[in-house]
Structure 1
């Protein structure tokens, strides 16, 4: 049997992964480069007029852009805080309580639904079907049906509820894996010293999980900035743009006002902001191998 040449043996692993790498570069790198290129033009369908950095200058002066950025920060930060707290509590009980541990798959079910289906479901519950309003009236908490999209904070609330319901399982499964991957001997030693489970979790497990929590929350935070389905289906930015997130702002500029270059510039700016924030957070979390 003829032996392969040393060059072929060294190149063989790269030949195996090469198609996958090329495919990923095509579907990720090319759209990004094209968006940066398009952001330098005023694009109206087939009409491309070079504008340089005028699109970026216009966005930085655009009050709607800053309002959308603020809405994204408010809705995203509240939703992320609730998701992190709920997921951490569920992970604690799923890790310790045998009864809850047997039903952990139930906690993952919301994440299996399509975002559009979840948005329609919560729109039906809050607005179209008035299920939530009817429940509150039966409990005597309100006297009439609530117009959830008629108030700035109520409209934001329904977006937060839908996002928390669907994506808390994402953090939950990461936190459970983090707890299961810890050194059991440390916890056993603390338990032999008389420490309670809550004390062990708060003083031992939680500090050891800080890098995992930081990475998971960062990934989820990046994903929240792309919130679109909930806004498009449930509120469409109402009332008065109070629920217009960055994704919906970009969609409106590109596919309703047909300012594709302007929308691309907004996308590039958002990418830069999120890259800087994510890099700063992760770098601080793993600086010199230490947790913050």
Structure 2
């Protein structure tokens, strides 16, 4: 299967390349700027048409949550208009699309895990632009899988885990928000799930919206504690974590306090359950140390 992935430096795009190495029948090609630019819709069709993939994975996005409050037009151009254009191009090619979305489409007021049937109500521009993207993708391509994920981390790029490790090398104590809860999700696990779902879409599998996130829930503060525990066990940097509230950590964009995602629909449909976040985090930290060692 020939898969085109939007974005060349994103965590999921890089994780897909990594996971596909073990699958001889899968080829992953990434598309990025300047030849492919979600902010310039005229570049989307030519780039995809030249590849002629059998599946498109829409992974690229505007993800700067706070900056989106200052750049709403750009966020919508990339996350909504651009995503819709990618889905339309996939339709013209006659192929399905797997589009990655976010837990930030919810307002966080629910107790317990959000299901796919729960009504979205984003609190910030980023979440609203991603929700608009979901709607655009679904309208442009009936053969779509929309996968909402959360708290994505990996050995690649910039993410919470790598930020914590960097800060720990310079500080003995780090203040981390303790009243926001969610599902940490390894990009490597997301990639493995996407590749599993790709087979189903190629066979005309179940389309629609699904939640895909790491098993188990935690707070950002406890997530950080496990990062440091895993790092310390390998002789790496660590720090004490001081719990604070979201109100004590001023940011431009409001964040939902609860974005726990129920993933039973994906598991029952595709026979795949994401590993527990602690297990996957230990794997990611180990790979980060391995990369650092050369």
**Above 0.5 in TM-score?**
no
The bucket for the TM-score relative to the shorter chain is under 0.3
The two structures have a TM-score, normalised by structure 2, of 0.21
The two structures have a TM-score, normalised by structure 1, of 0.22
The higher-RCO structure (CA 8 Å, 6+ apart) is 1
Q: Which has the higher helix share?
A: 1
